[in-house]
Amino acid sequence: MTWQDTSDAAWPSPADPGDLSRRLAHRREELRLSSAQVAARAGLSQRYLEYLERYPARADATVLRKLAAALQTSPAALLGGGAVTAAGGRATRSPDGRALRRLTVADCWRLIAPGGVGRIAFCMPSGPVVLPVNYAVVRGSQPSSAVSSSAVASSAIVLRTGHGTLIEAHGYDKVAFEVDHIDDALCQGWSVLVAGQAHIVAQPAELRHLNARADVLPWPEGERDVWVRVVPTKVTGRRIESQ
């Protein structure tokens, strides 16, 4: 029984779910679990779980970890991790109250600066290819976890790959690189697209610096000692958000 189906007579006030409430209910319904099943998995009372799905409550870190484990996700995802607020840009409002906003270049860099997983795209004779990769953002010769507006022009994206891979074969091509964050429960998110020129890093000093400082840990097994740097020529982004 979800919070939508719970009788208002059993509660002192009508349901008024917050962001966490919606994410909890959305994830539980994705897994096709009842509130009783999730509560049992998390070691919480069913009444408390129903309360969290009905009202904009703030759960402590211990409860969030238990709920995340029960729902096969992470505390950050339940809290909307990655949904960084960006300022600026002109918004186009849809009839249902959602706004599509174009992001400034500085906002785009702030959103993708923490690194993580993105997608690199390039063209082959058979057509476009898009591959998921781990990446980091570097500024000049120094990796940075937060790119300021003044550093936008010198920022680049770096990733690691192996010898003989498709990415190495296209390591000197013009490419596109995309990073996004989607919050299904709230129907909102953002996307950043970087178009630029790829280069295989060959200078020993830069290789030593990237190996020592750039936090890029590819998921696949095997050696990944080929560094590719994407120097941007165009950076665009959009955000859709509820109003």
Residues of the chain with CATH 1.10.260.40: 8-78
Residues of the chain with CATH 2.30.110.10: 91-242
DSSP letter, residue 96: T
For residue range 101-156, list pLDDT tens digits in order: 899 999 999 999 888 889 999 999 999 999 999 898 887 543 333 444 444 557 88
Mean pLDDT of the chain: 79
For residue range 163-203, list pLDDT tens digits in order: 888 999 999 999 999 999 877 666 778 999 999 999 998 88
Global pTM reads 0.58
For residue range 61-100, list pLDDT tens digits in order: 888 888 888 888 888 778 776 544 444 445 454 445 567 8
Report, as an integer, the average pLDDT of 6-25.
Answer: 74
Tell me the CATH number for domain 91-242. 2.30.110.10
CA distances, 109 to each of 92, 135, 177 (Å): 22, 13, 12
Tell me which H or E stretch contains 237: strand 226-242
How far apart are the C-alpha atoms of 138 and 210, rounded to whole Å? Answer: 9
CA distances, 236 to each of 104, 106, 160, 203 (Å): 7, 10, 24, 30
Which CATH entry fits the domain spanning 8-78: 1.10.1380.10, 3.40.50.2300, 3.30.300.180, 1.10.260.40?
A: 1.10.260.40
Identify the CA nearest to 51 among candidates 15, 80, 9.
15
